[in-house]
Chain A
């Protein structure tokens, strides 16, 4: 295991910090699985995790997992039901936070996981549903020019659409994306629904971020350095990250 800090580990720690204590969190796959375990152990002991296969659990998986369906994520769960039950929680407005990702994201936080003209992508899974209904979403992405586009080529999971007021106008009850955690930095959204840079990972410059972003990116008045994982966070990340 690498002793140097991996970008992936910075991203997981940043995602974990988005989980506030007591929140009901729609966890998702890959990095958020680890972020949930870290948050539960450290700063959000009362958070509850919802998994789209129907699992609800109020403690981290009993051992590291690759998918939400792995036996250590079922054993010790508080409830195992069906997809329709956890989707009911979403549509009814009972989910505080959902994690989603995609192959493409645009300036308003809309995501594409279905199609580009060249590539057939796997599809939505539950992402379109989480994006529709969670009170807020956090997007996790690798930051590359082909992924950060002015406009997504297919709208799988709704962000702020075309800007302020769009979500209400189409009838989406969730609040849309609040943060974007990428391999270069962390972003939030201004009142018009436009993405703004708020922190840079160590060693990354604003110029690098702009060079990897397909639109003229605005920055928060103060751009900070993303806080690196604490010793405790890092130990948990390395314990639970089976795909790193």
Chain B
């Protein structure tokens, strides 16, 4: 796959197979609680990806699941858990007891992980900040250093750039070139796309290039950054997608219960991931009724015109 192709549409399985390799640094879950690319995570598990480094601010249960599935060797993050329920049991098992394998951690705050990705996006080795001074996150870690301002002499924390091998984003719509329209809260999605060597988009809709070009301010991810575009409706379930899907709160709470014990988690993983060949089978398992409950039917459109007239 390449950024220079015209038509970048492909299947999720081939996008993950070709763009994500064992040992890669993968950024995902970048909008915080919404637009989390859960479909891609299931494909990681099915393809048996190993020794991944996961990068993201707050991943909700995405990172916890991948850790429990044994795909992860290291996490660079500000928070790992289950936003609606608290702790992530797989994360705890891995850090506290090395189950299923030991996990290396690079601690961040939301701001510092943002600066690490922004530095990579800008092509500089670090960015300075005042955050976290006097605290333990910025101490004794490979991700932080000290820098003295050449203009004022003030001492600041240097946040080292983090360059993802791959950034995976779920978006509302994209054209076949990978130009993506995204709306709602953005988290660090844009920084992570600009920072990464490769970008995979999963999207609710693939649209004609004219749909994108009609509203270029909404194109937050330009196609020149993108390697693969995958049409994957509901690909962020159970996280919400503005204008498409509500958050499936019950699924997150169910996961909390099913991941409490290792055996229960493995049964859950078999039922919801390994026994399902693809996202279509996953949606069928969720059931028409549940999918219908989550679907957003309300229309809430911009009122004032945006006139790009020339």
B135: chain A residues at CB < 8 Å are: 128, 131-132, 155-158
Do B130 and A91 touch (CB < 8 A)?
A: yes
Q: What mask results when residues 174 to 188 of chain B are scored 1 for a CB within 8 Å of chain A, else 0?
A: 000000000111111
Q: A82-B190, A83-B110 are in contact. Are A71 and B96 (CB under 8 A)?
A: no
A53: chain B residues at CB < 8 Å are: 31-34, 185-187
Answer yes or no: B247 CB below 8 A from chain A CBs: yes
Residue of A nearest to B32 (CB): A53
Q: A80-B186, A114-B137 are in contact. Are A67 and B33 (CB under 8 A)?
A: yes
CB distance from A29 to the nearest CB of B (A): 7
- Bound complex: CA A121 to CA B87 (Å): 7
Q: In A70-109, which residues have CB < 8 Å from any B CB?
A: 70-71, 74-75, 80-84, 87, 90-91
Q: Which of B87, B110, B186 contacts A124 (CB 8 A)?
A: B110
Do B185 and A126 touch (CB < 8 A)?
A: no
Q: Which of B34, B137, B246 contacts A156 (CB 8 A)?
A: B137
A166: chain B residues at CB < 8 Å are: 134
CB distance from B89 to the nearest CB of A (A): 11
A154: chain B residues at CB < 8 Å are: 136
Q: Is the interface of A mostly helix, strand, loop or mixed?
A: loop
Interface size bracket, A side: 35 or more
Do B133 and A171 touch (CB < 8 A)?
A: yes
- Bound complex: CA A54 to CA B84 (Å): 19
Residue of B nearest to A169 (CB): B134
Residue of B nearest to A70 (CB): B247
B290: chain A residues at CB < 8 Å are: none
Answer yes or no: A15 CB below 8 A from chain B CBs: no
Answer yes or no: B57 CB below 8 A from chain A CBs: yes
Q: What mask results when residues 93 to 131 of chain B are scored 1 for a CB within 8 Å of chain A, else 0?
A: 001100000000001111110110010000000000111
Where the two chains meet, the residues of A that have a C-beta atom closer than 8 Å to any C-beta of B are 29, 51-55, 66-71, 74-75, 80-84, 87, 90-91, 114, 118-129, 131-133, 154-158, 161, 166-167, 170-173, 242-243
* 20 A-B contact pairs sorted by A residue (CB < 8 Å): A67-B84, A74-B34, A75-B300, A80-B185, A83-B32, A83-B110, A87-B111, A91-B130, A118-B96, A120-B92, A121-B87, A122-B86, A123-B80, A125-B57, A128-B135, A129-B109, A155-B136, A156-B137, A158-B134, A171-B134
